[in-house]
Amino acid sequence: MSFDIVAVRRQFPILSEIIDGRPIHYLDNGASAQTPLDVINAVRTYETTGRANVLRGVHRLAERATEAYENARVEVAKFLGVQPMEVVFTGGCTAAINLVAYSYGQLLKPGDRILLSELEHHSNIVPWQLLRQRSGIELDMLPVTLDGRIDLTALPRLLTNKTKLVSLAHVSNVTGALLDVRAVVEAARVVGAKVMLDGAQRAPHGPLDLPALGIDFYAFAGHKAYGPNGIGVLWAKPELLEAMPPFHGGGSMIGRVTLAETTWAPPPRRFEAGTPPIGPAIGLGAACQWMAALDWSAAHDHEMALVQRLMDGLQEIDGTRLLGPASLQNRYPVVSFMLDGVHPHDVAQTLDSFGVAVRAGHHCAQPLMDRFDLDGTTRASMAPYNDNDDIDALLAGVRHAAKTLR
């Protein structure tokens, strides 16, 4: 089946925006994706016909809000291939990882170890460093190969029976490399370690089957997956959620409160203290429905064709280098590159004047930049609505930067 790019683009109103007489070439999806009408309409429907707090009210608006909020949980669960009660709404992907670092971290003892990698986003490093300060756990780091993949040959050396958790990016936000989850899970099982994936860069590229992956925790962000800001998801195996103490205390997460003590609500409520981000959750539910309706086999082929076009075009520009896998195998549409003699921020600024939105800098992955001794990279990250014009505009901008800035 051919991929109807025009029909997909039509669903994203912002793509027809004109700025300074130029169309938008939005290639910063790895930072935040754009949002389709279905999502905008779902949030609007909540705000205009069902706005109220969830769970507590008995009036009809509260019932509408609660129903829409819980339906969103069902849609997210379907998207992940899991049960709704295993889905915790958080403020974002970072919040989800912090939740695990705090609550699962409470179950760890001094001397226990957590295994990360050199290519992690800061959000999958700093929460564990904070846990280390609080509880005396130790951190180990998997190295990164020259082509920007986590070097799994180091797993036997770094996994010990002290390792309680392996937490890695499902897809790198810098190199686009897809993790070999099976290899990680198999190795982790041998020592009894749990596996968590930071799915921020994978979830925007189609439905998942988390039970089939054999992992224990999964986190992703709504705004990178065509949903609103301020919403994220933590999925965890039910027995883990059941064993974990709360992260935040407040309303909705309790069983019974007395002045002497409080009992906890069962998951997921236990981890959703206070009024949750109701509208954003409803929007994310709609985003998951939107993603589920897309033909991802065709969409992935389309995205990868854009990656190939971009990599081919960059190779023709003198002094460009890629950071990441050179092939399309086991990767997602995130492409980082350097233009010799031109700082990435200057490349990105030039691209902006061509109407091209990219991200430049360290991508919240400073240890990875240190690994390759780089100031940063320029990163193009694609979504199904991107087209050849976007790539060609980017290439024109890079050629201009190469000509004028060095």
Binding residues for another protein, rule CB under 8 A, total: 17
Calculate the alpha carbon distances from 65 to 106, 254, 262 in Å: 33, 20, 27
Only segment of 53-61, 91-99, 309-317, 347-355 that touches another protein (CB under 8 A): 347-355
Q: Of 8, 195, 322, 364, which residue is the catalytic one? A: 364
Nearest to 200 by CA among 124, 296, 149: 124
Q: Is there binding between residue 346 and another protein (CB under 8 A)?
A: yes
* Cβ partners under 8 Å of residue 177, min gap 6: 119, 147, 148, 149, 150, 171, 324, 325, 330, 331
In the set 17, 312, 318, 375, which binds another protein (CB under 8 A)? 375
Distance CA(159)–CA(10), nearest Å, equals 48
220 membership: H or E segment, kind and range: strand 217-221
CB of residue 138 to another protein, shortest distance in Å: 26
- Contact between 340 and another protein (CB under 8 A)? no
The reply on whether position 366 binds another protein by CB under 8 A is yes
Site for another protein in 377-406 (CB under 8 A): 404-405
- Residue 362 in the binding site for another protein (CB under 8 A): yes
Q: CA-CA-CA-CA torsion for 390, 392, 396, 399, nearest 10 degrees?
A: 120
How near is the Cβ of 306 to another protein at its closest, in Å? Answer: 23
Say how many C-beta atoms besides its own lie within 10 A of residue 20's C-beta.
7
Least CB distance to another protein at residue 346 (A) = 5
Residue of 174, 144, 209 lying closest to 333 (CA atoms) = 174
Window of 59-67, 235-243, 270-278, 350-358 that interacts with another protein by CB under 8 A: 350-358
Query: Of 130-138, 155-163, 296-304, 369-377, which segment contacts another protein by CB under 8 A?
Result: 369-377
Q: Nearest Cα to 150, choosing from 138, 139, 160, 158?
A: 158
| Smallest gap from residue 118 Cβ to another protein (A) | 16
**Catalytic annotation present for 364:** yes
In the complex, minimum distance from the CB of residue 399 to another protein, in angstroms, rounded to a whole number: 13
Crossing angle of the two packed helices 37-49 and 278-293, in degrees rounded to 10: 150
**With binding defined as CB under 8 A, does residue 83 bind another protein?**
no
Query: Per rule CB under 8 A, is residue 353 in the interface with another protein?
Result: yes
- The closest alpha carbon to 405, from 329, 351, 366, belongs to 351
Q: Which of 207, 343, 387, 396 binds another protein (CB under 8 A)?
A: 343
CB closer to another protein, 83 vs 366: 366
Which tokens is 368 given?
């990875």
**Selected range binding another protein among 35-43, 92-100, 313-321, 341-349, rule: CB under 8 A:** 341-349
Nearest distance from C-beta of residue 392 to another protein, angstroms: 18
- Give the Cα separation of 50 and 174 in Å (integer): 40
Query: Per residue in 284-309, is it b (16+ CB within 10 Å) or e — as a string?
Result: bbbbbbbbeebebeebbebbbbbbeb
Which part of the chain contacts another protein (CB under 8 A), choosing from 5-13, 183-191, 220-228, 340-348? 340-348
Cα 151 from chain centre: 21
DSSP per-residue string spanning 64-84: HHHHHHHHHHHHHHHHHTS-G
For position 361 contacting another protein by CB under 8 A, the verdict is: yes
Q: Which of 342, 382, 395, 402 binds another protein (CB under 8 A)?
A: 342
How far CA 285 is from CA of 79, 91, 196, 235, in Å, comes to 9, 14, 22, 15
Closest distance to another protein from the beta carbon of 80 (Å): 33
Residues that bind another protein (CB under 8 A): 342-346, 349-350, 352-353, 361-362, 366, 369, 375-376, 404-405
Enumerate the active-site residues.
Answer: 364
